[in-house]
A = this chain, B = another copy of it.
């Protein structure tokens, strides 16, 4: 594995067990397991063995396990299937504001078809308030609740909730890698890409959970699948999960990676100006965290780190194509423009971490040095106590850079108006004011008024 792959949450190379299991299972598991012939039966036996192995590793029953083509598909099936199964109980979906984008897209799809969805906000560490979440779930008409075990960008572990009669979907994709498989929740989702398995999602529908196929019917996997199950992939996913978790336990990977992450959280902000580690210090995933550097464009920082041999991600883990601001960062009120998510894989070593600690400050400095100049000098406004900075047409992070440059030029207690039309500017300016202790007096559309407090 590339030693600079600090983007493990986007997937790992095939585990050696994946490769070996795929090749072996392709010999005897190529046929459709639904066929009544020798090859079909052998394939069915392999699929049953994979399901048993996966169930044992997840601590569930084999008939509770469904293999899906991708993790995204598993999330969609989990949420929409639970809603379909609970149609009589209501049509409202409750979810945290920081779920994976597949959950938010499924919620939007549900709403566009006459359903309802309620997003429960999170605090500045991306953690949901269990009382607020429980209250939202207790509202009339709530059919299904979704709450990840831990956040996939910040690493924040979410509270384990008992949602009573409302079935809870738990996105366990990242938390089960180095920790226990969640014992709560009616439906669980896992993704084999994250442990070096093949492209395959896993859906656990616990006995008693009401679930109905949300998409057109298909006969495979007792009506829960999508076409002929990929038997070699299922075998490889189960075998590699077992190998991954066994190595994680014996190799003490969780605590070791947690140590690396703590060092990164302590050192990156110390070595890099205007840089912070997001999320909580404790109650977090050991291998995954996000850092934010002010006055840096996330895409430029990614490219700079890539040139230095490190792969990280920026923005939402799922929107790197579109580069829209991460909905997770927006929900927690963080600056969205200059963040990097670091996610470590089990083979990361001390030297990789030390090298990253050496390169990151230089990469941030290099990107900052390339930033365009400040906006035109602040112009006196009609009100002598106020000034205007025109950042229109300038992409994030330039508006907060303009703000940071201009604010020292006005008196403490005076106000500065920033005009900015980048879609992320509003969230970024608000987050910048919180971070730096300045006051956002008003902000709407493309005009933001900031009072210098210190």
Chain A residues with CB under 8 Å of chain B are 2, 5, 7, 10-14, 19, 22-23, 26-27, 30-32, 34-40, 69-73, 76, 80, 101-102, 105-106, 108-109, 113, 193, 198-199, 201, 215-220, 226-228, 230, 233, 299, 302-303, 306, 309-314, 318-322
CB distance from A159 to the nearest CB of B (A): 26
Contact (Cβ within 8 A) B228 A193? yes
Q: Which residues of B contact A11 (CB under 8 A)?
A: 30-32, 228
Q: A7-B37, A32-B11 are in contact. Are A73 and B311 (CB under 8 A)?
A: no
Chain B residue contacts of A101, Cβ below 8 A = 219
- In the bound complex, CA of A39 to CA of B76 (Å): 27
The answer to whether B36 touches A306 (Cβ under 8 A) is yes
Q: In the complex, what distance in Å separates the CA atom of A35 from the CA atom of B319? A: 9
Q: Within the assembled complex, what's the spacing in Å between the Cα atoms of A14 and B311?
A: 33
Complex CA distance for A171 and B189, rounded to whole angstroms: 32
Contact A199 B233 (CB under 8 A): yes
Partner of A35, one of B12, B32, B313: B313
User: Which of A34, A233, A312 is most buried by chain B, counting CB atoms within 10 A of its CB?
Assistant: A34
In the assembly, what is the distance between CA of A38 and CA of B310, in Å? 9
A202 to B: closest C-beta gap in Å: 13
Residues in B with CB closer than 8 Å to A309 are: 38
Measured between beta carbons, the chain B residues less than 8 angstroms from A32 are: 10-11, 320
Q: State whether A227 touches B72 (Cβ < 8 A).
A: yes
Complex A-B, nearest 10 residue pairs according to Cβ-Cβ distance, in ascending order: A70-B227, A69-B69, A72-B227, A37-B311, A199-B230, A109-B216, A105-B216, A13-B30, A105-B217, A106-B216
